Amino acid sequence: MENQQTPAPSKHDGHPHIPGWGADLDHKNRPAYPKERTPPRLEGIHWDQPQQQPQTVEILHSNERPDITPIFGTTVPPSGFSGMIRRAAFKYSENDMRHWLMLLFADRVNMLEGLGDDLMKGHVPNIFAEMGMKSELKYNRAGFIRKAAIATAVAGLGYYWLKHRKD
């Protein structure tokens, strides 16, 4: 039971250099205490159940729930081959490793699709800039040169290997 009397002097009062030390030791000072409380300390609710958001794009939903939720995001609906993989992944539950592994695989496929989309639109992605290499050059020049040297060496070895194989 919470002690309602004035607390005894703390054995750790030796923290005057720390602003705010112990300010929340007493639960009475903490409007967020306890961690869970019903009803919630919220203002502005004027619904029992949120109104259903109209569905305008394809939304995949976990098979651990009966249907889509009343509120959802609509960004980047599934599309292309990665979308097919995602749809297949959602046939498995969140409890099934295949669900997550297929989604990760779809993400990698989607990355290639993104490159293809860029090229189809006539946009050659500046991967150097997208990876923030300008800042690498500015703040870590030695690291940048090392990475560039490794990349060049790998590319050179690959080229040599391919050329050698043809011979």
Partner 1 sequence: MLAMDYRGPYRVRATQKPEPTIEHPNDAIVRVTRSCICGSDLHLYHGMVPDTRIGSTFGHEFTGVVEQVGPSVEKLKVGDHVLVPFNIFCGTCFYCQRELYGNCHNTNPEATAVGGIYGYSHTAGGYDGGQAEYVRVPMADIAPTVIPKEMDLDDAVLLTDVFPTGYQAAEMGEIEEGDTVVIFGAGPIGIMAAKSAWILGAGRVIVVDHLDYRLEFVKNFAQCEVVNFLDVRDMAIHIKRMTDWLGADVCIDAVGGDASGNFLQTITGKKMKLQAGSATALHWAINSVRLGGNVSIVGVYGPTFNAVPIGNAINKGLTLRMNQASVKRHLPRLIEHIQAGRIEPRKIITHRIPLEEISDAYHIFSSKLDNCIKTVLVPPGQFH
Shortest distance, position 18 Cβ to partner 1, whole Å = 5
Binding flag, residue 94, partner 1 (CB under 8 A): yes
User: Are the CB atoms for 52 and 24 separated by under 8 Å?
Assistant: no
Among 3, 65, 121, 167, which residue interacts with partner 1 (rule: CB under 8 A)?
65
Shortest distance, position 7 Cβ to partner 1, whole Å = 9
Number of residues engaging partner 1 in binding (CB under 8 A) = 85
Among 1, 5, 73, 167, which residue interacts with partner 1 (rule: CB under 8 A)?
73
Run of H or E including 115: helix 97-120
Residue 79: both structure tokens together: 């599309």
User: Are the CB atoms for 106 and 82 separated by under 8 Å?
Assistant: yes
Closest CA to 82 of 116, 107, 117, 119: 107
Among 3, 4, 5, 23, which residue interacts with partner 1 (rule: CB under 8 A)?
23
- Stretches 7-15, 149-157, 158-166: which one binds partner 1 (CB under 8 A)? 7-15
Closer residue to partner 1 (CB): 18 or 120:
18
Binding flag, residue 164, partner 1 (CB under 8 A): no
The footprint of partner 1 on residues 30-59 (CB under 8 A) is: 30-32, 35-51, 53-54, 56, 59
- Which residues have C-beta within 8 Å of that of residue 124, sequence separation ≥ 6? 118
51 vs 71: CA distance, rounded Å: 8
The footprint of partner 1 on residues 119-148 (CB under 8 A) is: 125-127, 129-136, 139-140
Residue 155: both structure tokens together: 């590319």
What Rg, from alpha-carbon coordinates, does the chain have?
Answer: 28
Shortest distance, position 26 Cβ to partner 1, whole Å = 9
User: Are the CB atoms for 121 and 115 separated by under 8 Å?
Assistant: no
